[in-house]
Amino acid sequence: MLGVRVDDLPLETLLSSFDEVIQARRSAVFAYVNIYAINLASALPWFRQFLNDCELAYCDGAGVQLGAWIGGGRIRYRHSPADWFWALCERALERGYSMYFLGSRPGVAELAAKEVRRGLPGLAVSGMHHGYFDQAKGSDDNRRLIRSINELNPDILVVAMGMPLQEAWIRDHLRDLSARVVLPVGALLDYVSGRLRRPPAWMTRNGLEWLGRLILEPMRLWRRYLIGNPLFIWRVMRRRFGPSRG
């Protein structure tokens, strides 16, 4: 869609893909694609390449499904990380996978780990670190963090630093990391920890999570949704119906 690959797959296939990567003892990135991601990919060639090079890039948002429909296609499945994260944690507990939480403000990763351990006693969250560090490639902060992650050797590394910062960090350091499954997840740790509220379930079920988030965080998200959403629809319609569609 607009040059960005979107894998249309059920949740069980996505989770099973995590198993395959972990059991094969290789590293892979599983990215989410929403309207904001596609808009970023239109402006940032490296970001578009990152999404297209991932193991899987799954649909996260009804807007992408709408864009597919306007473009004459169909995306059946959408999965927000906040919706399937607990299913992933249950799977990790059953199979003995270890996890590492990276991102958000200081203390949030620890609170998220506390919540998942309380809900799933025995789940191995081996390490946590906030996202407020010098993310420049080769920085002392990065070297210390990567050394810490590799010493714990997690099966699943959850990276919650917001798009596109989290993708840029993963791109720059994936080869240095021993983690198997690497998951960029946006604001997930804020939701799990309780620092941020998600919109009501009826909104998330009916493709209105963007509106709920805009109501909850208008100053931070107004440009993403009030400008970004119409821009995305315009781009899709231009691609489908414009003179340059061929």
| 246 has a pLDDT exceeding 60 | no
Please report how many Cα atoms fall inside a 13 Å half-sphere around the Cα of residue 213, on the Cβ side.
Answer: 18
The pLDDT > 70 percentage for the chain reads 98
Q: Strand runs (DSSP E) across 20-97, as ranges?
A: 28-33, 56-59
**Cis status of the peptide bond prior to 164, with omega within 30 of 0:** yes
Task: Name residue 70's amino acid.
Answer: I
For 26, residues 6+ apart whose C-beta sits below 8 A from its C-beta are 180
* Entry pTM: 0.93
Please report how many Cα atoms fall inside a 13 Å half-sphere around the Cα of residue 201, on the Cβ side.
Answer: 1
CATH node for 80-196 = 3.40.50
| pLDDT tens string 208-219 | 888 888 898 898
- What residue ranges do the domains of the chain occupy? 80-196
Dihedral sign from CA coordinates of 166, 167, 170, 172: negative
The pLDDT of residue 243 is: 67
Phi, psi dihedrals of residue 152, rounded to the nearest 5°? -85, -20
| pLDDT tens string 7-33 | 999 999 999 999 999 999 999 999 999
Cα–Cα dist 51/164, whole Å: 11
